[in-house]
A and B are shown apart, each in its own frame.
Chain A
């Protein structure tokens, strides 16, 4: 009897499981977008400023200005426009009237002031771009549609940096402030925005998933999109193979924008998905610690610059999905000289410069370490390509696995900064300041971006002058001159400007790439039936 009961029970469970299985394999609903891209570590847009946060923030929050299209154009959003005083220290924004937060309360200039004050007091993520030039008390609201910023000194990239700052609803945050934390504990897993999509906090699982629902009352209306998406399910799928399989199978509508080149053909061969290939502003750099011997020797740096097989790396490893970038500023941004001569892969020249460096007493025979980011395969591949070139000219290059947090912590001092390391400089705000300004002005030494420890008074002067001017034409010529100087000094090895590759389902329409947020602006998207 017991055996019979066991058999009946087992059969019932297996049958139920199989019945459940058919339902479990269902595809997403017709008005549900499943977006498989990493979630930010926190939901507080003033606490983090990385790529996942940008993709979340541009949908749930509004900002004074936004970047649209590619190459990106800075367009007024919450602001209708702005004026800058002649001395460059007062910036005044006029706001749209009648904007509402998701809870129905009005968004006025006082909310903009409070948001900037919160961001500056929290002192994390986006604050870094503003703290050197802005005090919390210097942001005021003369009336409900005007905001005035009094800067400590002229700072030309100020307006370009405003898309970093989400305007948040103080009426939701203030009741949750504890111990003067500006509501950070509460805001880490809550939302208080006015953007095109509303975060459904009941679905939030940190770093794993959140659902967004369309904000029907968004101040910009929806006339530009006849069939907007009602629900967006943002999901983190950590493993690339699983993410690509899920796209091909129709379980998700996108991958992230770092689709490995070996997966591109696989996605294109499927009947369910395609690949969007977009020129970005993301420069890969092999950093050299200019303060450490033998990198303090120009001829040694020139030898290293000629020992990297640029074409081989771009054509073979990246299958052509990148464009050679000869200097620090992305070639598709103003300020990058059009006539900049790139270093080529030339082992004879490398040997020649190495001989000169040795003659000048540089310790070229010592083991050189290049640190790679262990979980990013492309950093290893780049180091291996350099290692191959170095071996042929007699430089002993050792590849050391490392992780991003450890690497940027090590760049606080020149003696702890590795000989070399590999990273990209992504676009957080669209201005040469984001690249050459913060990479080679010596005042930024001690940050990971300035980890070359390069000091050239002429370059410092050019970059500082460019930062203080409003005239883009004048700034452009200063950045071009600075670019030429750092390239002549072979400060680092600049490899390429990325073409971002994102797998997209065939039913997705209206995807428009912008380097900020990598095209994850759901406002313009729709789903074909």
Chain B
């Protein structure tokens, strides 16, 4: 297993470097010079040229790239060209909010999607199965920003059950910073009142974000369970008199969720990118809204840093998924 993990780690390095190079080129090849914005509304061409020189935007692209690679190699992702703050500091301030939202969404999608998919397979061609298929297709097709607004209108505006926006009530001190994840920090400090407040704030954004993932996991699980139920060991287990519930929820499910597990890994990247829209609508102070602002202001160092950090997280989650995959199905690790 160690060899397997090491192999996966080694494969990650060129992938991340490729991502880094591509993003740099895409950001810098475009006519994407923020000098004019920095120089101010009334700047003359000479003043704009002075700003361009000061920031090194007049250097050849390859030179700018080498300087940037050197910086990153020293663990410095640079300063935001708009705010002049270290981008790593801005991202680390915001990353826990995105991580918390993504993991809660993923957990919700998995906890609900796997049982629903299993039940749909067990009750194959029943009314429940048909309804599930329609709902999962709808879940994949519905735009998250539209769904988010509908949820806001119903649960926040009409029923007044849940907060409209934000991560914590205005004017109240958030949980003591330990991990930056409000749900975890409030539990670690035994502040259940704070946990409650953080929990009600995450319900709508997490549910919105999880919708497509939930539908996808349910469909993969359904397909996996249907396939496994045709295997001989299931018939032997039934013939041997095992309880049907045990056969399905223990033996069949374990052999069926390999596909769904891979899907969860892929979903993670999708969820982080979908978080951009969801964070904007629910005013969630995460990396997504930071990235949107960075793109709109051509703050290319911030954009590069966000891409790199999200890429590292995405790679780490995929390695984790591969490990789980290998644990569920030892043949995977043996292929190396």
Contact = CB atoms under 8 A, between A and B. Distances in A.
Interface stretch (A25-33, A88-96, A391-399, A453-461): A25-33
Interface in B260-299: 280-283, 285, 289-290, 292-293, 295-299
Contact of A447 (B38, B44, B90, B282): B44
28 contacts: A17-B200, A24-B163, A24-B200, A26-B169, A41-B80, A47-B38, A123-B51, A124-B38, A125-B39, A128-B40, A185-B85, A233-B170, A238-B289, A238-B292, A238-B293, A241-B281, A242-B281, A242-B283, A245-B156, A405-B34, A405-B296, A406-B30, A406-B298, A428-B41, A446-B44, A447-B36, A449-B41, A449-B42
A208 interface: yes
Contacts, number: 210
Q: How large is the interface on B (under 10, 10 to 19, 20 to 34, 35 or more residues)?
A: 35 or more
Contacts of A408: 36-37
Contacts of B199: 13, 16-17, 20-21
Interface in A191-229: 205-209
A317 interface: no
A237 interface: yes
Interface residues of A, number: 73
A239 B50 CA distance: 35
A18 interface: yes
Contacts of B40: 48-49, 124-129
When A and B form their complex, which 7 residue pairs have the shortest distance between CB atoms, in order from nearest?
A20-B196, A446-B45, A405-B298, A128-B43, A128-B40, A21-B200, A41-B82
Contacts of B161: 21
A128 B195 contact: no
B201 interface: yes
Given A188-B83, A238-B280, A447-B44, A25 B160 contact: yes
Given A128-B47, A428-B41, A428-B42, A237 B165 contact: yes
Contact of A189 (B83, B149, B285): B83
Given A21-B196, A23-B197, A48-B40, 15 more contacts: A20-B197, A21-B197, A23-B193, A24-B196, A28-B170, A42-B82, A125-B39, A206-B85, A208-B285, A208-B289, A239-B283, A242-B152, A405-B34, A406-B31, A446-B48
Interface string B193-217: 1111111110000000000000000
A16 B200 contact: no
A49 B42 CA distance: 10
Kindly name the residue among B35, B40, B156 whose own CB sees the greatest number of chain A CB atoms within 10 A. B40
A184 B289 CA distance: 24
A34 B31 CA distance: 38
A249 interface: yes
B315 to A, nearest CB: 27
Nearest to A428: B41
B92 interface: no
Contact of B296 (A129, A375, A409): A375
Interface in B15-55: 30-45, 47-48, 50-51, 54
Q: Which of A24, A404, A448 has the most CB of B within 10 A?
A: A24
A428 B201 CA distance: 39
Given A242-B164, A403-B298, A124 B48 contact: no
Interface of B: 30-45, 47-48, 50-51, 54, 79-80, 82-85, 90, 93, 149, 152-153, 156-157, 160-165, 168-171, 192-201, 280-283, 285, 289-290, 292-293, 295-299
Contacts of A209: 285
A244 to B, nearest CB: 10
A476 interface: no
A377 interface: no
A424 to B, nearest CB: 12
B112 to A, nearest CB: 15
A132 interface: yes
